[in-house]
Amino acid sequence: MTALVASLGFLLMALSHGAGAEVQRPLATVVIGGLVTSTLLTLLVLPAIYLWLEKGSGPLGHN
């Protein structure tokens, strides 16, 4: 929820056309990309790695 609110706020910056927008747009784009990437990693990749290690098929798992 926090990442969604932050993304919406930066989306307004990314779409702005006013004074200083040429500086704000690239920054907002990078921040939005980072929020999306970190959210996907947290929700999808991290649980998959955890399950992989818990099964015992990983390098640290128990057979």
pLDDT in tens, 46-58: 999 998 888 766 5
Q: Please, what sign has the CA dihedral across residues 39, 45, 46, 51?
A: positive
Torsion angle of C-alpha atoms 45, 48, 53, 59, degrees rounded to 10? -60
What digits encode the pLDDT tens for the residues 34-47? 999 999 999 999 99
Per-domain residue ranges for the chain?
Answer: 2-55
